[in-house]
Structure 1
């Protein structure tokens, strides 16, 4: 049987690019920004808090990688808060900077909710690849150890998480030389601090989670998803794994694919759209 032809990054990024409705800065670095995608109507709009991947490395990807699915959600009546952050290759990135950036960007949603007519009672975190880890980590913030420098008071409540080909278990990822990000980047990201950065250490999250992964993903091995699901369920969390056939890594954020159709169904179901 001929293997399926999978999408490549040029297949995604070479297509016409949609544009956000506004951009909000939450710091002075060029990557400390959020793009806001607003649907038609008066609101208050349900919100997807979106986090891009790229191996936690700014030179690989930034928030614009998510533009196409952000536009698709906007057309379906959902606002998108698409966050950027300093990766491990930027001054101030890594531990604790990357995590503090994502936290600050998430909490800026609350500060801007009235301005953009956003419904803070309906917030779903959606992340792709490394962003899948960060989306789950944002939901885990109330479980951070009291002594952690990443802990902040009153983190933004998240109702649900959808991880698209994510890497939630940093310790398992660091021990997996076949993961597409490599193992050294985990040391750059965490500095060996797993207690407050690797999601399994913070279980149970107390938030429902859906993991959408491709059967033919050559970048993120499927066992990194299945292994996390076992751990999360053992701790009592509601977690579901959705393995999409004939699907690689890029398909997860391309709006015409079966993988995104499944992820979008999950998101809209939670947001009651």
Structure 2
């Protein structure tokens, strides 16, 4: 396990600006999303730590069980279409499965012309004052920071989607449905921006905290021992969807052995009941993932999301 202090991470970010990390031939920018200590951390002593996801895996195949310095990886497009995507990875709220050189999913959407921002977010397990809302704080801040920097990154601030995977799908669903919830006090001019995504994509997402469909690991990490009915309802992402929730696409594999596809069915039913423009795809195979390739051909899910997103303002 590798530990990194906030000073080390920020210094590394500055070094990256001078000598950028490179993947697939393009430069990666990495930046902290808060200008100083993130909100609610005055009494905690958490440090950034990452572990390899597999002993024999690639060097950048890592996950973060503790996050003190929330970051964005900025994956540039080959030829920009003016749109941006906030990509929120999973990890069961026990860790964040994101590297430092851009995930294959990020590069796939960058190849389609989107500037992709991968989020390394804080976790409830580390004792932040916001508790289960700490990850939502970071997601809201990331959306605002992206829009505030639209001119720098040459994107249209009205064309910023959010997509999430597994527990990141739960966080994306909450970002989309709780965009009006004030989770922290403004810290700078970036916080004048709206955190509402233009479009949302939820891929093999954790959604509900209710039984029997709840993902037990995510529920435990998010809620701890406080599983009162009111708390379970509050953090079930399908509950109380607002009329201004962005158009949302949901996709899952029927054979997912980790997060039941019932989560996606529950979410789609809630979206339809709330009259939110929405689309659902249940693929026969895929496990707890949706691959970029299948049988030597491109898997359809990125194209399906892009088509849906363009239909709704992207």
* Superposition TM-score tier, normalisation by shorter sequence: 0.7 to 0.9
Asked if 1 retains the 8 angstrom alpha-carbon contact of 2:143 and 2:196, the reply is no
Cα distance in 2 between the residues matched to 1:109 and 1:201: 27
Instruction: Report Cα offsets for 1:216-256 as digits up to 9, x if no partner.
Output: 10011111111222222112122222011121113x2x322
1:104 — aligned with what?
141
Residue 45 (structure 1) aligns with: 82
Which residue pairs with 1:223 in the alignment? 262
C-alpha separation in 2, matches of 1:128 and 1:65: 18
Aligned-pair Cα RMSD in Å: 3.2
| Aligned-partner Cα distance in 1 for 2:93–2:108 | 24
Matched, 1:235 2:274: yes
Higher helix proportion: 1
When normalised by structure 1's length, the TM-score is 0.77
Higher gyration radius (CA): 2
More displaced stretch, 26-35 vs 187-196: 187-196
Shift of 1:52: 0.5
Q: Which residue of structure 2 lines up, in the alignment, with residue 165 of structure 1?
A: 204
Match of 1:123 in 2: 160
- Which of 180, 194, 204 aligns to 1:155? It is 194
For 1:82, which of 105, 113, 118 is the aligned residue? 118
Distance verdict in 2 for CA 1:149–1:246, change over 3 Å: closer
CA distance in 2, matches of 1:247, 1:110: 34
Matched position secondary structure for 1:248: coil
Counterpart of 1:202 in structure 2 is 240
Matched length: 247
Aligned to 1:121, what secondary structure does the other structure show?
Answer: coil
Supply the distance in 2 between the matched residues of 1:73 and 1:124 (Cα, whole angstroms): 12
Higher normalized contact order (CA 8 Å, seq sep 6+, divided by chain length): 1
Cα distance change, pair 91–236 in 1 and its aligned pair in 2 (3 A)? same
Gaps of 5+ in 1: 1-16
Q: TM-score, normalised by structure 2?
A: 0.68
Give the 3 Å change call, closer, same or farther, for CA 202–65 of structure 1 in structure 2.
farther
Greater CA drift, 92-101 or 213-222:
92-101
Report the CA distance between 1:143 and its aligned residue. Answer: 4.8
Residue 264 of structure 1 pairs with residue 271 of structure 2: no
In structure 2, runs of 5+ residues without a counterpart are 1-22, 38-66, 187-191
Displacement of 1:31: 3.9
Residue 75 of structure 1, CA deviation: 1.5
